Amino acid sequence: QSALIQYGSVSGSPGQSVTISCAGSSSDVGSYNFVSWFHLHPGKAPKLLIHDVDQRPSGVPDRFSGSKSGDTAFLTISALHPDDEGDYYCCSYADIYNLVFGRGTRLTVL
Amino acid sequence: QDQLVQSGAEVKKPGSSVKVSCTAFGGTLSSHGISWVRQAPEQGLEWMGGIIPFLGATEYAQKFRGRVTITTDESTASMELRRLTSEDTAVYYCARVDCRGGSCYSAKNFYYFHNMDVWGQGTTVTVSS
């Protein structure tokens, strides 16, 4: 089962913006707008940040935004807070496999 | 506020089975779907399968077909994993799938489990001889 491709780590200073990418293919991200992003704090359950590429659930700050270009989805976090540290995962509906996750990106707030 | 509460940690022998439950408080599961996702130590998230009870629809990730069964009643979802090995040692999560406005299915009987808006606290399953 193929995983979506995410860079291992990214960092930024408080107040800066970072963008995390999630590369898929024409069998998943490229063909469907069923992409979600999750944030994991160590030892805590995942939290939904974005669904359907760019839709933000109620209660998620507008500092978090999602987008897509071709086969790649993006999560942008603006005005970084120390609490934003942790692991970020994308997932997408995929032909045959139904749902695939990325391998995760670790965000460090310097 | 809606929340999902999972059953407690389990220690199992290789070759045995484990059943993890997930109970909805503050609502029922009748109008939502449920996904099961696991995270092995130092690994990423892995989708195992999901169920949409009001459609009678269940789907399993290819990797787990034949070894996992997901069921629900009105307020509790369960995931049973059989023929356990040490590689099944992981934290197992249930997550509610938002189906408002028909967003979790299509007219062609495709089912979408990506919009997981409420998560259980996780259940640690350790497989060891």
pLDDT tier for residue A99 given thresholds of 50, 70 and 90: very high
SS3 state at B83: coil
Chain A touched by B45 (CB under 8 Å): yes
Note whether A90 and A28 are within 8 A (CB). no
CB contact set of B94 (below 8 Å; sequence gap of 6+): B4, B6, B20, B22, B34, B35, B36, B37, B77, B79, B119, B120
Confidence of residue B2 (pLDDT cuts 50, 70, 90): confident
Distance from CA of A97 to the nearest CA of B (A): 6
pLDDT at A91: 97
B47–chain A nearest CA distance, Å: 7
Instruction: Give yes or no for B57 touching A (CB within 8 A).
Output: no
Query: Which H or E run contains A11?
Result: strand A9-12
**Banded pLDDT at A1 (limits 50, 70, 90):** low
Give CA–CA dist B106/B122, Å, rounded.
29
What pLDDT is stored for residue B24 in this prediction?
A: 92
Angle at B23 between CA B61 and CA A84, to 5 degrees: 70
Q: What is the pLDDT of residues B80-125, one digit of tens each?
A: 999 999 999 999 999 999 998 888 988 888 899 999 999 999 999 9
Contacting residues for A41 by C-beta, under 8 A, at least 6 apart: A47, A85, A86
- Which residues on B lie below 8 Å from A3 (Cβ)? 44
Name every chain A residue with its beta carbon within 8 A of the beta carbon of B122. Answer: 45
pLDDT in tens, A53-77: 999 999 999 999 999 999 999 999 9
CA distance B106 to chain A (A): 12
Q: What mean pLDDT is predicted for residues B15-41?
A: 92
- CB-closest option in A34, A40, A47 to B114: A34
CA distances from A42 to A46, A47, B32, B42 (A): 9, 12, 27, 11
